[in-house]
Structure 1
Amino acid sequence: MRLLSWRSVMVLCLSAVLTLALVACGGGETSAPAKAAQAFARAMSGQDVAAASDLTTSPSQAAETLGETFAGMHARTVDAQVLDTVEYSDGTASFVLRTRWSWPDDREFTTKTNGSIRRLESGWRVQWDPALLNTGMPVGGRLQLIRTDATPAPTVRSASGKAFMQMQPVNEIMINPAATRNLQRSVNALAAALKPIAPLITAKVINDKIADANGGQTLAVTLRDPDMKVLAADPERIAGVTVVKTGMLVMSDRRISTPLATGLTNYWQAVRDATAGWQVQQAAPGEAPQRLAGEQGRPGPDIMTTVNQQEQLALGDAAVEVAQPATIMSFDAKSGAILGMAQNSAAGDKRILADVAYPAGSTLDPVFDAIDKNAKTKDAATGQMQHLGLGLTFAVPGVAAPEGEPSGSIQAASFRPQNFTATMLNMGALGVAVARSLDGGSDSVAPYLIKGSPTKVTGGKLGAMNDQTVRRIAAAMATTARSGDASDISGAPGLRALVGTNGPEGPGWFVGISGGKVLVVYCEDARSGTAALQVAQKYYRLT
């Protein structure tokens, strides 16, 4: 065998290196492989699953992974860029892909991955590999963004600082009609199992819930851990029934039920959302999620309210005194702080809210009469009513917002009272204004529920009260309590009251000032005025 000289060997090696280098660098920015890679990056940036997957060698597999990842990441923007493309003589090419995922609040996650491109009969296509999304991601894997909440969760506290509502473990008992061969048998068995702790969740109630869910998986009831121990049977042994363990903001004292819970839960959730952290994970079947980036959420502050728990219990007992819809609220007569709110099931079914306006009827006749005697112009009458809290809209943080229901508007001092509407918050503000004036105060105040979160007032302004007007209102309220419709009420020292209805079918109102508190009762249906007095009397007996 003839040996080549070292000079010949060097020449051949150098030639080969130059040839490879020329081939490798032949893929410029405008080459076909580069265009294919850039098209894929543009589709990624547009979060266009169909377009991106069609540019790969395995469109169906790519569509599944990309679809799950885009859905799981729910990014505000995706910015994918091809940083480099190298073409080889064997009909392949490689590229580097940088993908930046962005969310609000300057949250970002960036990957830099390597990909390859193949020339097929249909043209250049990106070799599909889940690792294009994150280096090392296996088949079946995906990226996902989750929120992280600090522990412990904020507690909603009463005026005394005690826990009023707090996060507790609960069990969501679900029934899936598609997972049982005999749905009615499962429904009946579930209702029987729940009867010892939730007798109101009957088979009919469960069937109605399934119908509302269009036959899909349905939440039958949510129970605390201690409740699960007294069930008549294990729900998970019933065909089609599963138990999902989760956490929920619930009343610390299970005896308490209040419409304020909805608004307080919304406020609590807003605090949780504002303090939540985030985490990008790589998830794959059979593997624990892998943390890739993120920040832990910081603990949210406890929510300090003005609620008095003993007051709330008394309000709850008073609300169930009558069968027709009844709702009751109490306020601190000096500050306007909401002390509590309760309603019976009939009122709850009707979604009666504190900040929805209802007809006032004759209830405010003494107020209108007093303003008419002291206001000489329309503007003066309007101002005096607003300064008493009427005709205004109160957006109270922690109180569920109404769904487009306006409060009463002021047209003139002598307009027809039966056309006027007011919210329970309006009536409470009126009572507080009168009580403050009797106590030497000069300005009215807005009701509030969460300490440090002021109420937004629209539709006019609160302010200095007309002394003569307030004295006339207070005198009329004293007469009503002493010899009028509220004269039978006992246990309310120094009571001053407004009582009225909007005709035979109601609604009926009671507004009372006694013992440093303002009480507002709202009832609906026939004899609602009498019902409001019954609820008020029950409250004063309890307190």
Structure 2
Amino acid sequence: MRGSGVQGPGNRARVAQPPTLDAMRKSMGIAVVGVFALVLGGCSSGPTDTEQAAQQFAEALTQRNAQAAADLTSDPAAAAAAITQMFDGLDPQDVRFTVATTDSDAGTFTLAADWTLGEPETAPAPAPAPPEKWTYTTTGGGAGVADGGAIPWDPQLLAPGLTADSTLRYTTLSGGSPTVLDAAGRPLMAEQTVTLVNVDTVQTPDPAVTAAALAPLLATVAPTLTAASVQADLAAAQGKTATVITLRDADLEPIAGALAAVPGVTLVKQTRLLTVDKADTSPALDGLRQLWQEGQDAAAGWAVQLVRANGSADMVAGVEGTRAPDIASTLDPAVQSAAQDALAALPQQAAIVAIRPSTGAVLAVAQNAPATAQGPIALTGLYPPGSTFKTVTTSAALQQGSVTPDTVLPCPGSANIEGRTIPNDDNFDLGAVPLHTAFARSCNTTMGQLAVAMGPNALHDAALQFGLGVDYVTPGLTTVTGSVPAADTPAQRVEAAIGQGQVTASPFGMAMVAASIAKGSAPAPMLVLGQPGTANLTPAAAPVQVTDELRTMMRETVTAGTATQLVDLPDLRGKTGTAEVDSGPAHGWFVGIDGDVAFAVFVAGADSSAPAVDAAGRFLRPIQAQLPR
């Protein structure tokens, strides 16, 4: 049995022998190596507590994990609040904190912060703005960190100068507000103070009482606002704050005290770009506002501000803004006002667009209230142009060389052309007349017969020569001119020849047709001086003789044709149009040229061209002496 001390058979007692000198040396050598290895192992251990703490803190900040960063500090509650506010106040695109240096013995470290601030670029630009960068370093830590303790909390760990009773915020800096000018260089739009009349529906005990108190106060500014409409606005807010109206300073001043006394009402100041004359209105103003804002954004500076408890602030980083240049528009206040007044009394949707043919300058874009409720129909609404399209049809026929203005053609009251019965208005019958007479009197039957012999692309190509169907990219102006598809069959060409079928045009598009006839080629439309639009294609202009002949025929339309109610306007040339629609009364049109002004008038559902012609007279007569010649 082992360990009994008794020698059994076959066992031999082992006697311990003293170690040899070599064995002693080998044993000592192994022991020394082992001790040396332990020493080396201690020197090559992982990161120090200081390095680990600094790295974890920097990573948590980079990940915007406020609580994780705060938990590494001696005061997690205060740190979490400060870190959260920093990220909320600066709202960065990107942020990176890195460990720059550490002192393991002292337990201190230095962080490098790299912020990318401001709104990110959302659209490509020829020269994108450089990112708004803020970089700095901070120091922190202490002896306890070297021993694995928490990082002593100090707001200046986050940013230089930050204290327990201050906060950080990012803001943009305007270098001054530019002005939008009219064609004469006078202020058309400027940044102004407005006041929002807000109602806190939660703090309004009786919405009906509040609405009844507000309506009479606001009636002088907004006659259509009633107690019922205000109450409906409050109900629609569903417990949130409702903005009942926005007032200019001049409108607010007489009633400010009474408004503030209404329960639940608060008055909130803002700045907005407004027309100098509040009566001015136009779809073109929306594009000018956008250009103004783009200019403001491009010229704006930025700042990181250290905000104290009392509201005072110091700029700790950033760039001062510069003043954006004024915007010189081509809008003529007299022409715009006359166009607006000419449409005001019409109950139907109505629009006028006026262009200076020599330069392409847009002088006026006007709509009445029913039209505005449908959007910017003057610029983008598409409708059949009716007989105003006969300017294009006649141009195409003259370019083919088969007719001249004096060619005698039949103008029966109605005609069956390619299986479609084409009537004249009220079936008037002129018999055989020269083309110029058929044009002035607007003979559908003559135009339909002319189109039968045309090629499939004849009307399409002639329309492009006058800008109709061309897409323009114009600074400040979003437009659609219209569409004139190729007409592959004679029946399609008959429909198209009288501005029906698949042919569509906007009031802007027909104003471009009139301007092209006046100039002899399609002008590049322009709303901002020096910034003409660019076309997606540039077809050759119609022959000079053709446009000369068209202008003569358009004058005959006024002196002896369908627009004789305007014969008192000595230089006016024009073309009337009535366009059938699928249901409801026909649309009315008039396109005209008066000196260096070309224009189109559109009245939806007018059932004839007369309301459009009358509106053209109301538009031109007050300003004819001022029109450029």
Q: Note whether the superposition's TM-score is higher than 0.5.
A: yes
List aligned pairs for 1:126-525, cutoff 5 A. 126-139=151-164, 141-151=166-176, 153-210=177-234, 213-231=237-255, 233-373=257-397, 374=399, 377-378=455-456, 381-399=459-477, 401=478, 407-412=482-487, 415=493, 416-417=495-496, 418=500, 419-437=502-520, 443-458=521-536, 460-467=537-544, 469-471=546-548, 473-503=550-580, 504-525=584-605
Question: Cα distance, 1:318 vs. partner?
Answer: 0.8
Contact 2:481 2:506 in 1 (8 A): no
Distance across 1 between alignment mates of 2:557 and 2:276: 39
Alignment partner, residue 31 of structure 2? none
**Alpha-carbon separation, structure 2, partners of 1:129 and 1:206:** 52
Q: CA deviation at 1:433?
A: 0.8
On the 8 A contact 2:469/2:481 being kept in 1, the answer is: no
Deviations along 1:333-355, one digit per CA (max 9) or x if unpaired, are: 32221112222211111113443
> Which amino acid in structure 2 is aligned with residue 99 of structure 1?
A
Greater Cα offset, 388-397 or 525-534: 525-534
Q: Which moved more, 1:444-453 or 1:390-399?
A: 390-399
Tell me if the contact between 2:57 and 2:72 (Cα under 8 Å) persists in the aligned partners. Answer: yes
Paired residue type of 2:141: S
Pair 1:528–1:179, CA change in 2 (3 A): farther
Report the structure number with the largest CA radius of gyration: 2
Query: 2:62 matched to 1:45?
Result: yes
Q: What residue in structure 2 maps to residue 69 of structure 1?
A: 86
User: For 2:532 and 2:389, how far apart are their aligned partners in 1?
Assistant: 30
Q: Alpha-carbon deviations, 1:398-419, whole Å to 9, x = none?
A: 23x36xx784253248644322
> Is the Cα contact below 8 Å between 1:492 and 1:515 reproduced in 2?
no
Q: How far has the Cα of 1:513 moved from its partner? A: 1.0
CA change 1:368–1:309 in 2 (3 A) is closer
**For the Cα contact (< 8 Å) 1:306–1:337, is it kept in 2?**
yes
Q: Equivalents in 2 of 1:54, 1:522: separation in Å? A: 70
Percent identity, aligned pairs only, is 28
Q: Give yes or no for contact 1:27–1:87 (8 Å, CA) kept in 2.
A: no
Spell out, residue by residue over 1:193-239, the C-alpha distance to the aligned partner (whole angstroms, 9 max, x if none). 22233333333443454456554223322222222222285322222
- 1:474-519: CA deviation from partner (whole Å, max 9, x where unpaired): 3543343234432223542232223223324344322111232112
Relative to structure 1, the CA distance from residue 380 to residue 324 in structure 2 (aligned partners, 3 Å threshold; closer, same or farther) is closer
| Matched residue, 1:4 | none
Q: Does 1:96 align with 2:110?
A: yes
Residue 114 of structure 1 aligns with which residue? 139
> Helix, strand or coil for the counterpart of 1:358?
coil
Give the 3 Å change call, closer, same or farther, for CA 365–521 of structure 1 in structure 2: closer
Q: Which residue of 2 aligns with 1:11?
A: none
Q: Which residue of structure 2 lines up, in the alignment, with residue 9 of structure 1?
A: none
Partners of 1:33 and 1:124 within 8 A in 2 = no
1:455 is displaced (CA, Å) by 1.0
SS in 2 for 1:187: helix
Distance 2:392 2:244 in 1: 49
- 2:79 & 2:199 partners in 1: Cα distance? 34
Distance in 1 (CA, whole Å) between partners of 2:47 and 2:609 is 83
Distance 1:297 1:474, change over 3 A: same
**Partner letter of residue 436 of structure 1?**
K
Contact 2:457 2:486 in 1 (8 A): no
**1:253 alignment partner AA:** D
Secondary structure of the residue aligned to 1:242 is strand
TM-score normalised by the chain length of structure 1: 0.83
d(CA) in 1 for partners of 2:308, 2:369: 47
Change (3 A) 1:315 1:361: closer
The match for 1:539 among 602, 605, 619 is 619
Letter aligned with residue 384 of structure 1: A
Kindly indicate whether the alpha-carbon contact (under 8 Å) linking 2:327 and 2:528 is maintained by their aligned counterparts in 1.
yes
Q: Deviations over 1:447-490 (max 9, x none)?
A: 211001121323x3254223354345435433432344322235
The question of whether the paired residues in 2 share the 8 Å contact of 1:117 and 1:124 is answered with no
Question: Deviations along 1:42-71, whole A, 9 cap, x unmatched?
Answer: 332344446545555555554443333323
Q: Which runs of 5+ in 1 are unaligned?
A: 1-25, 438-442
Change (3 A) 1:325 1:286: same
For 1:79, the aligned partner's letter is: R
Cα pair distance change 1:49/1:204, threshold 3 Å: farther
TM-score normalized by structure 2? 0.72
SS in 2 for 1:272: helix
Within-5 A mapping of 1:80-95: 80-87=97-104, 93-95=107-109
Give structure 2 stretches of 5+ with no counterpart. 1-42, 118-128, 401-453, 624-629
Structure 2 CA distance for aligned equivalents of residues 294 and 271 of structure 1: 19
